[in-house]
Amino acid sequence: MFRASAPGKIILFGEHAVVYGRPAIAAPFNRLQATAVVAPAEPGQGLLLELPDVGDRVMVDGGATGQPLALVAHLALRVLRLDAPPDWTITVRSTIPVASGLGSGAAAATAIVAAMAAAAGASLSPAQVSALVYESEKLFHGAPSGVDNTVIAYNRPVWFVRGVAPQPFDLPRPLTLVVGDTGIASPTSVTVGDLRRCWQAEPARFEALFDAVGQVVQAARRAIECGDPTAVGTLMDRNHQLLQAMGVSSAQLDALCLAARQAGALGAKLSGGGRGGNMIALARPERAEQVAEGLLSAGAAHAFATQIQ
């Protein structure tokens, strides 16, 4: 048996504008993980993908497929030079909630590729894994920027610009984040598609919003590198306002961001696709539990503190 895991991810700054070429900062979220296990199967079975969390099982038959995780397994066969699908059962389990902005699809795909490589006795670079996972992201998302597959495949904080080699981004000090879950599933493809229609209708207005996000992300990089959490928090608030103006926030996300600030957070913003899913708040470590309690009192389905480093 061969097992591999991949983390979820948190976008700290720059979601949505990153689709339009502006930078983003993202980090792995190791508290949540997707795990894939490859087990040998009866001769003649072929390659079976078991997805018990979503009650699905798919044969990876070597043909084109519309199931994103089956597609990534199919593409991995080629890269691993496995001409015929081997008799394997790959079982994927995940603690990352689906459609919540935490990278569940990219994490499951990364775990599958890594477990298949281990079973084939091969080693793939993060760039190779990221490129394979990007293909499955296209089916999940439509026109993804590539930030999710990059941060998860590299498993370290990154400064990401679409189409440019990712730069690993070292945090001089850990950031304490509190993640608050609205409990509302919101497929990223829907928010990304809605925003695209708005941008097509009013390109100048939306380009100006994306430029403003780009400036916030640049300033956030400097504030993180200088170890200035107060400035990072203020920039998170500013990024959230710009996401509101783009129409990708929601009443629940806004209420959780406000509750986090009232409970002592240094700043808060939605994280990921928006409309539902998760928000993040930056807290001083000694305030993190209080912020998590504030989020739960304001209606968060879950809230927990984590350190990004």
The binding site for ligand PMV (CB under 6 A) comprises 11, 15-16, 18-19, 101, 103, 141, 144-145, 147-148, 188, 192, 272-273
CA distance 252 to 244: 12
Task: Supply the minimum distance, in Å, between the C-beta of residue 132 and ligand PMV.
Answer: 16
Nearer to ligand PMV, 194 or 289 (CB): 194
- 3-state class (DSSP) for residue 113: helix
Cα 201 to the center of its chain, rounded Å? 28
Q: Under DSSP, is residue 307 helix (H, G, I), strand (E, B) or coil?
A: strand
- Give the nearest distance from C-beta 88 to ligand PMV in angstroms: 28
In terms of DSSP bridges, do strands 56-60 and 88-94 run parallel, antiparallel, or are they unpaired? unpaired
Query: Shortest distance, CB of residue 187 to ligand PMV, whole angstroms?
Result: 8
Closest contact distance (angstroms) between CB of 232 and ligand PMV is 19
Pairing state of beta strands 88-94 and 47-51?
A: parallel
**Residue 220: strand pairing partners:** none
The residue among 101 and 267 lying less far from ligand PMV, judged by its C-beta, is: 101
Structure tokens at 190: 């829907």
- In whole angstroms, the minimum distance from the beta carbon of 159 to ligand PMV comes to 14
- Distance (Å) of CA 79 to CA 31, 48, 75, 125, 128: 30, 18, 7, 12, 9
228 is catalytic: no
Those residues with Cβ within 8 angstroms of residue 130's Cβ, 6 or more apart along the chain or in another chain? 146, 149, 150, 153, 154
Per annotation, catalytic residue among 61, 87, 148, 237: 148
Query: Which CB sits closer to ligand PMV, 46 or 187?
Result: 187
Distances (CA, A) of 250 to 182, 186, 277: 10, 11, 10
Nearer to ligand PMV, 13 or 88 (CB): 13
Cβ nearer to ligand PMV, comparing 91 with 100 = 100
> Among 119, 106, 121, which residue's Cα sits nearest to residue 153?
106
Q: Round to the nearest angstrom and report the end-to-end CA distance of the chain.
A: 31
The rounded distance, in Å, linking the Cα atoms of 287 and 208 is 35
Which C-beta is closer to ligand PMV: that of 129 or that of 263? 129
- Shortest distance (Å) from residue 272 CB to ligand PMV: 3
44, 102, 176, 283 from 295: Cα distances, Å: 52, 18, 15, 13
- Residues classed as catalytic: 148
